[in-house]
Amino acid sequence: MSSHRAIVRSALAMMVTLALSAASASAAGFGPRFGLTLGPDQVHAGFQFHAAQLARHASFVPSFDVGAGDDAITVAANMDFKYVFVQRTAHWHPYLGGGPGLFFVDVDRQSSQTDVGMNFFAGLQTPTRSGLFFGEMRLGLVDAPDAKFTIGWMFH
């Protein structure tokens, strides 16, 4: 195994370990996410969790997705920061966010590549009895997938 791959795998393992330990310590939420990816064209599924409340409406919300399609398998570990625009009279609340991510792509099990990229996203969320339901659009920059359209839940 090359030293580059060993470093990337170690970094990914550390990010996932930190994310899972933060999730277990956080009572704020955890949940599934599903959607479509463009560039490469795939379906993806994964999970996210509310790791830390940074300010009144700002939080650290890491996510992990696996995508399949377009003759490739992708894995994304995103370290997202999110700001929610809360309006007292509205049922749906817009939000914006972004952050770095680690992206692994395996094409037909013949070649693979790992990159560090950047994401920006916008979405809408609404409270449910058990937490939140959301829909978002994510744009990738610097070696990230071009776009992702995702829905998901955050359970308390």
Convert the pLDDT of each residue in 90-121 to its tens digit.
Answer: 899 999 999 999 999 998 888 889 999 999 99
Of all residues in the chain, the percent with pLDDT exceeding 70 is: 82
Predicted confidence at residue 22, as pLDDT, reads 53
Element (H, E) at 11: helix 3-25
Convert the pLDDT of each residue in 4-24 to its tens digit.
Answer: 455 556 555 655 665 555 555
Q: Is the pLDDT of residue 72 over 70?
A: yes
Compute the half-sphere exposure of residue 121: CA atoms within 13 Å on the CB side of its CA.
Answer: 33
Q: Which domain holds residue 34?
A: 3-155
Predicted confidence at residue 20, as pLDDT, reads 57
Predicted confidence at residue 87, as pLDDT, reads 85
Q: Is the pLDDT of residue 64 over 90?
A: yes
Q: What integer best gives the mean pLDDT of the chain?
A: 87
Compute the half-sphere exposure of residue 94: CA atoms within 13 Å on the CB side of its CA.
Answer: 3
Residue 80 CA to residue 40 CA, distance in Å, equals 21
Predicted confidence at residue 8, as pLDDT, reads 53
Of all residues in the chain, the percent with pLDDT exceeding 90 is: 71
Split into its structural domains, the chain has a count of 1
* CATH code where residue 62 lies: 2.40.160.20
Q: What is the DSSP letter of 55?
A: S
Q: Is the pLDDT of residue 153 over 80?
A: yes
Contact 134, 26 (CB under 8 A): no
Give the mean model confidence (pLDDT) for residues 15-44. Answer: 77
